[in-house]
Amino acid sequence: MYMQAVPLNYWAVLVCGVVSIALGSLWYGPVFGKMWMRLMGWDKMNPEQMAEAKKGMIKSYALSFVGALVMAYVLAHALVFASSYMNVEGYAAGLSTGFWMWLGFVLPVTMSDVLWGQKSWKLWSLNSGYYLVQLLMFGVILALWG
C-alpha cells in the first residue's frame, strides 16, 4: 500500500507557534491574568514564592511553543483529511476543524483537572476557552495559508 505525504505548509505551522505565545501572553496577561492568578491561588504568594515560580518561565515558554507546534502540525493533518470529506473550504474549514478537535480531544481531557485535580470549573473554563480560541486561530491560519 502506497502512503502519500500530506501537503503541509511548515511556515503556517511556525506562525501558529508564534501566535500561540502571543495569544497566551494576552489571555493570561492583561485579559484574564488577574482572574487566572486568583483561581490558581498565586495571588496569595509572597515575593519569594513568586520569584521561585518565575524562575522556570523561559523553559515553560519554550516547551509551550514546542507543544503549540505539535498541535498545529497535527491540526494541519486533520484539516487536510477533514477538508477532503467536508463540503467546506477556507476559513470555515479551519474553524470547523479547530472546533471539533477542541470538542473531541481538548475538552474531555482537560476535564480531569476538575474531576481529579481539585481545580475549579471557573479555572477549567478559562483554560478551555484559551484552547478553543487557539485551535480556532490555528485552523484559520492553516486553512488560509496551508
Q: Inform me whether the pLDDT recorded for 15 exceeds 60.
A: yes
5 lies in some domain: no
pLDDT given at position 86: 75
Q: How many domains does the chain have?
A: 1
Express each pLDDT in 86-145 by its tens digit: 777 889 999 999 999 999 999 999 999 899 999 999 999 999 999 999 999 999 999 999
Whole-prediction pTM: 0.90
The answer to whether residue 79 is domain-embedded is yes
Q: Which residue has the higher pLDDT, 6 or 102?
A: 102
User: Per-residue confidence at 2, pLDDT binned at 50, 70, 90?
Assistant: low
Q: Is residue 69 part of a domain?
A: yes
- Domain boundaries, position 97: 10-145
Nearest-angstrom CA–CA distance, 145 and 101 = 19
The answer to whether residue 136 is domain-embedded is: yes
DSSP the chain: ---PPPP--HHHHHHHHHHHHHHHHHIIIIITHHHHHHHHTGGG--HHHHHHHHHTHHHHHHHHHHHHHHHHHHHHHHHHHHHHHSS--HHHHHHHHHHHHIIIIIHHHHTHHHHTT---HHHHHHHHHHHHHHHHHHHHHHHHH-
Tell me, yes or no, whether 81 lies in a domain: yes
Q: Report yes or no on 3 lying in a domain.
A: no
In a domain, 2, yes or no: no
